[in-house]
Amino acid sequence: MAVSFISLTLSRTQKKKPMATNDITLYIPPTEEEVMLIQPNNVTFGQYSVTEWQENLLTLISDQIQQHMTREKQLPKDLFNQPVVEIKCDEAGGKNNKSKVLKEAIAMMRKNFSFRWVHPNIHQTVETFGVVITTVHNIKGTNRVALTLNPWAIPFLLYYGTGVGGTRYGKNIALTLRGNYTKRLYKIICSQRDRREYYYSIDQFCKDLEIPASYSNAQIDQKVLRPAQTRIKESEADVWFDYKFICKTPKKGQKPKADTIILFIHARNPQELRGDQQQQYSFVYRWVYGALSYPSDNTPVRALDKILESGRLKDVYDRCAYYDDKVCSGEMSTAHAQNSLAKMLREDFGIKARGKKKDPDLFG
């Protein structure tokens, strides 16, 4: 009998007050809501380095968690009320590679994470250890696997995958970039995109990306930073970086040695789009303008900014091109196509079409 995973609304348990016995405060497990809001620090993820395909799995898992956090889509729960994510193996490892994706998912069950956090009730620092994936379900006859998550991995995954603050990144770009170091750097610069410069301690940089301790600065330059810089620029992502090594804290009596990397972060504006991307932008703008009921202000531009920030311009362009073909062939009316696009904008990006009355909370 096949097992199906269905979405259930997350239950919330009532908050409990700490209990004290003989002046010893007992540990009370946080509620599910409190776990989701934990701000971790001293995050580590070790035992083995993360492979390129495992980085893709983390991207897909984090994307579904982010959708849950923004209430775009609820996380499904299994029989024991544990969160489950369903992974399309074609997204994680390309077509016809399910066996490899399955093998990498099973290997992740041996990878430990840890972080520290402050308990909201007893106000004590707690150090938590665990694994991200507790169970792997191979859905036979499909290109999918379902992964049961450790709920305590959610704070770690939000930190690891999207940076502090939950900054979004382009999922498609993160999946298609080559190299696990490149994927991690892309997510890092997305999380810091509002800064022009980001000072990164080399020691912390190596720890975060799990770069071997034996790597010299020259090797970090040649094997990590330079390939990542080139690949991200060539991907046509709307954020990329340049970099420089500096000695931020020179030691007296010693020759200065670089201890910090400056990442110079660049974000693309619509005016800087060229070639095919500029054509896509113009075409999508026309359709979004209609789907938003032809507003007289700058809301279509703001909507396009949001689409660009997500790295999904090509996805929306393909959807608009599909609707355009349907309208031209007479299979859909213009109004029907615009309503369908408006639904996609609302559900995928939180962009609301205007009704007859002015809606000041377009991006609510």
Residue pair 184/209 in contact by the 8 Å Cβ criterion: yes
Rounded CA-CA distance 324/295 in Å is 20
Q: How does residue 5 score in pLDDT terms, banded at 50, 70 and 90? A: very low
Joined tokens for residue 119? 């308990």
Contacts of 311 (CB under 8 A, 6+ apart): 169, 170, 171, 172, 173, 174, 237, 238
- What is the location of CATH 1.10.10.10 in the chain? 30-175, 195-267
| Single-letter amino acid, residue 97 | N
What are 78-133's pLDDT values in tens digits?
888 889 999 999 888 877 889 999 999 999 898 888 888 877 677 788 888 999 99
Residue of higher predicted confidence among 343 and 39: 343
Q: Is the pLDDT of residue 357 over 70?
A: no
Q: What element of type H or E holds 95? A: none
Distance CA 314, CA 125 (A): 45
Give me the helices (H) in 46-134, please: 52-69, 89-93, 98-108
Contact in structure between 292 and 299 (CB atoms under 8 Å): yes
Per-residue tokens: 126: 């707690």
CA 200 to chain centre: 21
Residue with tokens 């040649």: 222
CATH of domain 195-267: 1.10.10.10
Assign 112 to helix, strand or coil.
Answer: strand
What does the alpha-carbon distance between residue 74 and residue 83 come to, in Å, rounded to a whole number? 10
| Residues 35, 11 contacting (CB under 8 angstroms) | no
Per the rule left: phi > 0, alpha: psi between -120 and 50, beta: everything else, 323 is alpha
Residue with tokens 């007479």: 330
Output DSSP code: residue 78.
Answer: -
pLDDT tens-digit map of 200-211:
999 989 988 888
The whole-angstrom separation of Cα 241 and Cα 256 is 25
**What are the residues whose beta carbons fall under 8 Å from the beta carbon of 33, sequence distance 6 or more?**
12
Q: From CA 300, how far away is CA 281, in angstroms rounded?
A: 11
Mean pLDDT for 5-34 is: 50
Global confidence as pTM: 0.51
Instruction: List the beta bridge partners of residue 126.
Output: 117
pLDDT value, residue 309: 78
Summarize pLDDT for 253-272 with one digit per residue, the tens: 888 889 999 999 887 655 45
User: E strand or H helix at 313, and its extent?
Assistant: helix 313-329
- Structural fold of domain 30-175: Arc Repressor Mutant, subunit A (1.10.10)
Residue 234 has what pLDDT? Answer: 86
**Gap between the Cα atoms of 28 and 282, Å rounded:** 55
d(C-alpha 309, C-alpha 165), whole Å: 15
C-alpha–C-alpha distance, residues 316 and 304, integer Å: 10
Average pLDDT in the chain: 78
- Looking at residue 151, the DSSP 8-state letter turns out to be T
Nearest by Cα to 288 from 327, 342, 324: 342
Neighbouring C-alpha atoms within 13 Å toward the C-beta of 235:
27
Does residue 164 register a pLDDT over 50?
Answer: no
Amino acid at 326: K
Inter-helix orientation angle 313-329/299-310, to 10°:
120
Instruction: Say if residue 17's pLDDT is above 50.
Output: no
Q: Both tokens of residue 123? A: 């106000």
**Planar angle of CA 157, 159, 161, nearest 5 degrees:** 60
> If pLDDT is split at 50, 70 and 90, which confidence band does 321 have?
confident
The total of other beta-carbon atoms located within 10 Å of residue 186's CB is 26
